[in-house]
Amino acid sequence: METFKGNKIHGGIAIGTVLFYSREQRKIARRRVDDVDKELARLDEAKRATVCRLQELCQRAREAADNQSAQIFESHLVMLEDYDLNTAIANIIKNQGVNAEYAVAVTGDSFVARFENIEDEYFRARGEDIRDVTERVIDALMGDANRLEVFEPSIIAAHDLTPSETLKTDKTKLLAFVTQKGSVNSHTAILSRAMNIPAVSGIDVKAEWDKRTAIVDGHSGIFILEPDDETIESYRSLQKNDERQARLLSRLKGVKTVAKNGRPLRLYANAGSLDDIDAALDNDAEGIGLLRTEFIFMGSPQMPTEQQQFEIYRRAVQKMAGKKLIIRTLDIGADKQLPYMALSKEDNPAMGCRAIRLCLARPELFKTQLRAIFRAGVYGDVSVMYPMIASVDEVRRIKRLADEVKEELANENIAYGSVEQGIMVETPAAAIISDILAKEVDFFSIGTNDLTQYTLAIDRQNSDLGEFFDSRHEAVLRLIKMTVDNAHSVGIWAGVCGELASDLSLVPKLVDMGVDELSVAAGMVLQVRKAVCEG
Ligand code: PEP
Ligand code: MG
């Protein structure tokens, strides 16, 4: 038995078998399939998605006058249609009755090997192109980053996990996460909280742990490899204790969230999927204070169309059945990437062309999302919220685009709802000019994760800096207070949707500051209600 001490990411206890995951070693399992035609149709669909992706990349390269890259993507499009390659893949599926990703992978390997043995450098390079094309088709089949295949309940041990890897894993098979990288405020950590999966980071994870029994104690940030029977027993009783606590908390369902001073608070939940909305409602959240739409986009092999987005938002608002749903527009950039968007690499992506900057740079993308959100507004209480605002000019530009969208919908006789517009206050600039911004919008939602990162100049992703990343820092608390006061002075509301909202010992202070709304992971709703009511 070996015990390792790491960082607490999300509470809870898991006992089970380790599945070691390494991004470099994507394992493509050979699976027998019953329905070969269905598998061939899957392959066709993946090829279609790959064509779209390559065409988009090609166009992007042309726009950037990068002819060399455009030619490479064009040659990949031609390769994708290669008769020999496609016949070989289809034959493996048909003759062996196996899954498409396996057929693509073995065909790719054998074609690459053929090219690698040719002396001519030009032809050897073509082998690399075949590798690239077949990898893209496999990405489309498995979901770009879904290289983490979990077939039985497992403790996932990995050096690090990206949000999309985390998102695309079958939640029902996840017992816990143990990673080396991953700070408390990284998006992967946020996702583990949203899924209510115990998680510990800062552990020097080893490949040889694969398939061994382990315990993850998310309450104390402890990982135990090959625990003895006595330790397993004591952790089983701790698990039972957690279950008892959860039962006690469930008595708070239906109870109003009212602070000791008699002031009611709105207790909302954060969500990144329709499943999260179900979890929020199960935990008696009074609304959704932050729907991170980029997580929905990450689950899609290509950019969702207006109609696809509209269907998702409409289903979300219908699930809410009259309760408020605050949809945040795309917050892409830094650790949250959409592979099909091909964003250019930046030296400092957390400060780069992300979130609202990206949307303002690509108005067609932004307007498509706004159209879908406004249309969904017909079905219930929908608000929209814009991330990473730093200036009044940005807000005015957004409002002009939103007005254009409404006018266009009206001209097309397409119904849209009345949707309140708010901003996230998550840059120090927004907090400092919140008196001016408050006159422009309907509400503020304070994003303490980024507000802490930018105020303290500490990378929220860097787990080595965990001891310095302090959302309770006086500078952050003063910015929160200033923002809330400025909101109230013009009669709008201000909430907190960053992780600080579920810091139970700080909740009474946020209440005292006059915060009107707290939005937290679904699994934290009842604990926060208890903290608000008990003061
Ligand atoms: C925040 O920054 O506090 C926030 C809620 O947004 P995200 O964590 O998605 O960046
Ligand atoms: Mg943020």
Whole-number Å distance, alpha carbon 25 to ligand 1 midpoint, is: 31
Global model pTM greater than 0.95? no
Q: What is the pLDDT along the chain (535 residues), one digit of tens a residue?
A: 999 999 999 999 999 999 999 876 567 889 999 999 999 999 999 999 899 888 887 787 677 666 666 777 888 899 999 999 999 999 999 999 999 999 999 999 888 888 777 776 666 667 777 887 888 899 888 865 445 678 789 999 998 887 767 776 778 889 999 999 888 888 778 888 888 999 999 999 999 999 999 999 999 999 999 999 999 999 999 999 999 999 999 999 999 999 999 999 999 999 999 999 999 999 999 999 999 999 998 877 778 999 999 999 999 999 999 999 999 999 998 888 887 776 777 889 899 999 999 999 999 999 999 999 999 999 999 999 999 999 999 999 999 999 999 999 999 999 999 999 999 999 999 999 999 999 999 999 999 999 999 999 999 988 888 889 999 999 999 999 999 999 999 999 999 999 999 999 999 999 999 999 999 999 999 999 999 999 8
What residues have CB less than 8 Å from 328, skipping those under 6 apart? 290, 291, 292, 293, 384, 385, 386, 387, 424
Reduce the secondary structure of 1-61 to three states and give it as a string.
CEEEECEEEECCEEEEEEEEECCCCCCCCCCECCCHHHHHHHHHHHHHHHHHHHHHHHHHH
Cα-to-centroid distance, 386 and ligand 2 (Å) = 10
Tokens 């830094």 belong to residue: 334
d(CA 449, CA 316): 25
Q: What angle do CA 105, 108, 109 make, to 5 degrees?
A: 85
Catalytic residue annotation: 187, 497
Chain-centroid distance, C-alpha 396: 28
Minimum-distance ligand 1 atom for the alpha carbon of 270: 5
DSSP states of 275-300 as a string? HHHHHHHHTT-SEEEEEEHHHHHHTS
As for ligand 1, residues whose beta carbon falls within 6 Å of it are 190, 290, 292, 331, 426, 447-450, 497-498
Measured at the CA of 32, the angle between CA 29 and CA 34, to 5 degrees, comes to 145
Check if the beta carbon of residue 425 is closer than 8 Å to that of residue 487. no
The pLDDT of residue 64 is: 62
What domains, with CATH codes, occur in the chain? 2-23+147-231 (3.50.30.10), 36-142 (1.10.274.10), 266-534 (3.20.20.60)
The residue contributing the CA closest to ligand 1 atom 9 is 292
DSSP codes, 450-508: HHHHHHHT--TT-GGGTTT--TT-HHHHHHHHHHHHHHHHTT-EEEE-SGGGG-TTTHH
User: If you measure from the C-alpha of residue 307 to the centroid of ligand 2, how many angstroms do you get, rounded to a whole number?
Assistant: 26
Alpha-carbon distance of 257 to 254, in angstroms, equals: 9
Alpha helices in 283-391 (DSSP H): 293-298, 306-320, 355-361, 363-376
Task: Take residue 203 and report the two structure tokens written for it.
Answer: 């552990």
Nearest CA among 123, 125, 134, 116 for reference residue 54? 134
Measure the CA–CA gap between 74 and 58, rounded to whole angstroms. 7
Angle between the N-to-C axes of helices 448-456 and 474-489, in degrees from 0 to 180, rounded to the nearest 10: 120
Ligand 1 atom 4 nearest Cα: 447
From 187, 293, 449, mutation site for ligand 1 pocket: most ligand atoms within 8 A of C-beta: 449
Distance 110 CA to ligand 2 centre (A): 45
CA–CA dist 248, 237 (Å, integer):
17
Pocket test of ligand 1: the residue of 292, 328, 444 to mutate, having most ligand atoms within 8 Å of its CB, is: 292
Q: Which atom of ligand 1 is nearest to the CA of 290?
A: 5
Q: How far is the CA of 355 from the centre of ligand 2 (A)?
A: 9
**pLDDT at site 133:** 87
What integer pLDDT is reported at residue 521 of this predicted model? 95
The residue nearest atom 3 of ligand 1, judged by CA position, is 447
Tokens of 280: 């929020």
Ligand 1 geometric centre to CA of 436 (Å): 22
Provide the CB-side half-sphere exposure for 23 (13 A, CA): 11
For ligand 1, pick from 291, 297, 331, 386 the residue to mutate: most ligand atoms within 8 Å of CB.
331
Relative to the alpha carbon of 185, which ligand is closest? 1
Residue type, 254: G
Residue 143 backbone dihedrals phi, psi, to 5 degrees = 85, 130
- Look up residue 146 and give its DSSP letter: -
Q: How many CB atoms lie within 10 A of CB 425?
A: 35
Using the structure block, give the residue that is written with the tokens 């166009």: 59
Q: Identify residue 283 by its one-letter amino acid code.
A: N
Q: Which of 333, 378, 327 is closest to 359 using CA atoms?
A: 333
- pLDDT at res. 124: 65
CA distances (Å), 472 to each of 74, 132, 461, in order? 52, 46, 17
Which ligand gives the minimal distance to the CA of 495? 1
C-beta of residue 293 within 8 angstroms of C-beta of residue 328:
yes
Question: How many residues are present in the chain?
Answer: 535
